[in-house]
Amino acid sequence: MDYDFIVAGGGLVGSSIAYGLARQKYKVAVLDGGDRSFRASRGNFGLVWVQGKGWDYAPYAQWTGQAADLWPQFVAELVNETGVEIDYQRSGGMHFCLNEAEWSEREHEMEMVRQHTGGAFEYEMLDHDRLQQQIPQISNTVLGASYSPQDGHVNPLYLLQALQQGMDVHQVHYYPNQSIDRIEAKQGGYYTHSTEGTLSAGKIVLCAGLDNRRLGEMLGMEIPVVVDRGQIMITERLQPFLNLPTLHVRQTAEGTVQIGYSHEDTGLNDGTSPSVLKKIARRAVLMFPFLARVQLVRAWGALRIMTPDHNPIYQQSADCPGAFTVTCHSGVTLAAMHAGPVAEWIGGSIRLDLINQFSTDRFNVSPG
Ligand SMILES: Cc1cc2nc3c(=O)[nH]c(=O)nc-3n(C[C@H](O)[C@H](O)[C@H](O)COP(=O)(O)OP(=O)(O)OC[C@H]3O[C@@H](n4cnc5c(N)ncnc54)[C@H](O)[C@@H]3O)c2cc1C
């Protein structure tokens, strides 16, 4: 066999897993698509986000909390190994509520997460006055906000760059523009076929985002992937006014302001639409009226890799042992978990009881 592991896909999920496997001294290859692929890792909002996650599924609330707690050490090691600064800050985060209905829904979700985590998740609901003390520029139309000190943010492009550099440090062979057409299970291993040729490995991890459904079928796994488009716009650089991220508006370390948070079922269309951009811009201006006068410099659409219940899938194929998949949303938030415990679980050096809650069994489909 050419490698111990082939990782299909070199986005944030595949890169985190490959980096984590290579740190365990496995010989790893990453086969990735190219510039025409759908790549959520290059179009996301950069939140390392805990609040609200898993409010309706306790294992996900616990999983996300653990992932966020792993971040400070993960960043220290990644930066130390690669020298790439990734603008990570665990600054806390907020979600603004514009009316009573949003406030009570949010309060309910935050309380559910607290209960699911046995009190490990910390939050406060801030009324308008308390919110304004922290963010003087907030408009009077904002009723209040949920706040958690456990949230943070990062530059997701620098994160991807650091992970790829980390793969290089640990001698991962990265093959760009080598989308896998076909995978064969034979002779106790896995053979990937692409236009560039064939590679083999004892084990394989599918991290190809939206293509995981197709690749999974070749290894007997039914991986239900749901597409969800999000649109984001970005402004010119502004003086600092927002020292923590929010779900809709985030000021980056460079001063630009990211505005986002939309969900659309558009199939495999990662473009933008004026109607949605208008809607997210209007909400941002309701929160910060001065944003109406700033210059927008860019807007884009990107496709989320969702599952039917929005929770991640971690699965080893029953038919093809040694074939795994990691299919998830929130690949930024979960990066520290993927590079650490999940890579060790795939590598076989640790047991992870909580991970069993994320198999495809919950969808009543074939695990392989
Ligand atoms: C608008 C938006 C905002 C988001 N905001 C956040 C956020 O704030 N915080 C957060 O935690 N998450 C966020 N996410 C989610 C996060 O971006 C994703 O969970 C993460 O990027 C998924 O990474 P991935 O590697 O699975 O997928 P991708 O980035 O899509 O990468 C998949 C890779 O697989 C490759 N590939 C595809 N097919 C094949 C094949 N056949 N063979 C080999 N390679 C293949 C592709 O070329 C690609 O590089 C957001 C997503 C979107 C769209």
220 plus 235 within the same structural domain: no
CA geometry: angle at 261 spanning 107 and 296, to 5°?
Answer: 135
Flag whether pLDDT at 15 surpasses 80. yes
Other CB atoms closer than 10 Å to residue 289's CB: what's the count?
A: 14
Buried b (16+ CB within 10 A) or exposed e, 178-202: bbbeebebeeebbbbebeeeebbbb
Percent of the chain with pLDDT over 70: 99
Tokens of 237: 């650089």
Pocket test for ligand 1, best of 6, 30, 31, 32 (most atoms within 8 A of CB): 32
> What are residue 129's DSSP bridge partners?
none
Buried b (16+ CB within 10 A) or exposed e, 211-231: bbbebbebbebebbbebbbbb
Tell me phi and psi for residue 141, to 5 degrees: -75, -10
pTM over 0.75: yes
- The reply to whether 341 falls in a domain is yes
Residue at a domain's end among 289, 306, 323: 306
Compute the distance between CA of residue 162 and CA of residue 79 in angstroms, rounded to an integer.
7
Condensed to tens digits (0 to 9), the pLDDT of residues 18-65 reads 999 999 999 999 999 999 999 999 999 999 999 999 999 999 999 999
- The reply to whether 267 falls in a domain is yes
- Between the alpha carbon of residue 118 and those of residues 17, 112, 303, 324, 356, the distances in Å are 29, 10, 33, 30, 20
Residue 364 binned pLDDT confidence (cut-offs 50, 70, 90): confident
- The reply to whether 24 falls in a domain is yes
354 plus 260 within the same structural domain: no
Q: What is the mean pLDDT of the chain?
A: 97
Distance 26 CA to ligand 1 centre (A): 24
Q: Is 211 in the pocket of ligand 1 (CB under 6 A)?
A: yes
270 plus 165 within the same structural domain: no
- The reply to whether 124 falls in a domain is no
Q: Is 16 in the pocket of ligand 1 (CB under 6 A)?
A: no
287 plus 230 within the same structural domain: yes
pLDDT at position 365? 63
Compute the distance between CA of residue 177 and CA of residue 38 in angstroms, rounded to an integer.
13
* Ligand 1 atom at minimum distance from 8 CA: 43
Distance 52 CA to ligand 1 centre (A): 21
163 plus 298 within the same structural domain: no
Distance 48 CA to ligand 1 centre (A): 15
Tokens of 347: 């590598």
- The reply to whether 132 falls in a domain is no
Distance 127 CA to ligand 1 centre (A): 35
Q: Is 44 in the pocket of ligand 1 (CB under 6 A)?
A: yes
Buried b (16+ CB within 10 A) or exposed e, 237-252: ebeebbebbbbbbbbb
Q: Domain with 185 in it: what CATH number?
A: 3.50.50.60
CB 319 within 8 A of CB 220: yes
- The reply to whether 43 falls in a domain is yes
Condensed to tens digits (0 to 9), the pLDDT of residues 255-286 reads 999 999 999 999 999 999 999 999 999 999 99
Q: Is 312 in the pocket of ligand 1 (CB under 6 A)?
A: no
- The reply to whether 123 falls in a domain is no
Distance 139 CA to ligand 1 centre (A): 34
Mean pLDDT of the 223-250 span: 97
pLDDT at position 98? 95
323 plus 301 within the same structural domain: no
Distance 132 CA to ligand 1 centre (A): 35
209 plus 335 within the same structural domain: yes
pLDDT at position 316? 97
Question: Among the listed ranges 103-117, 260-274, 353-367, which one has the minimum average pLDDT value?
Answer: 353-367
341 plus 359 within the same structural domain: yes
Q: Is 47 in the pocket of ligand 1 (CB under 6 A)?
A: yes
Distance 141 CA to ligand 1 centre (A): 35
The closest residue, in CA terms, to atom 50 on ligand 1 is 44
218 plus 323 within the same structural domain: yes
Flag whether pLDDT at 366 surpasses 80. no
* Ligand 1 atom at minimum distance from 11 CA: 25
Compute the distance between CA of residue 148 and CA of residue 124 in angstroms, rounded to an integer.
7
359 plus 251 within the same structural domain: no
Q: Domain with 269 in it: what CATH number?
A: 3.30.9.10
Residue 332 binned pLDDT confidence (cut-offs 50, 70, 90): very high
329 plus 215 within the same structural domain: yes
Residue at a domain's end among 257, 282, 306: 306
- The reply to whether 120 falls in a domain is no
Query: Residue 200's domain spans which residues?
Result: 3-48+157-224+310-363
Compute the distance between CA of residue 175 and CA of residue 136 in angstroms, rounded to an integer.
48
> How many folded domains does the chain comprise?
2
Q: Is 33 in the pocket of ligand 1 (CB under 6 A)?
A: yes
Condensed to tens digits (0 to 9), the pLDDT of residues 129-148 reads 999 999 999 999 999 999 99
233 plus 293 within the same structural domain: yes
Residue at a domain's end among 291, 306, 321: 306
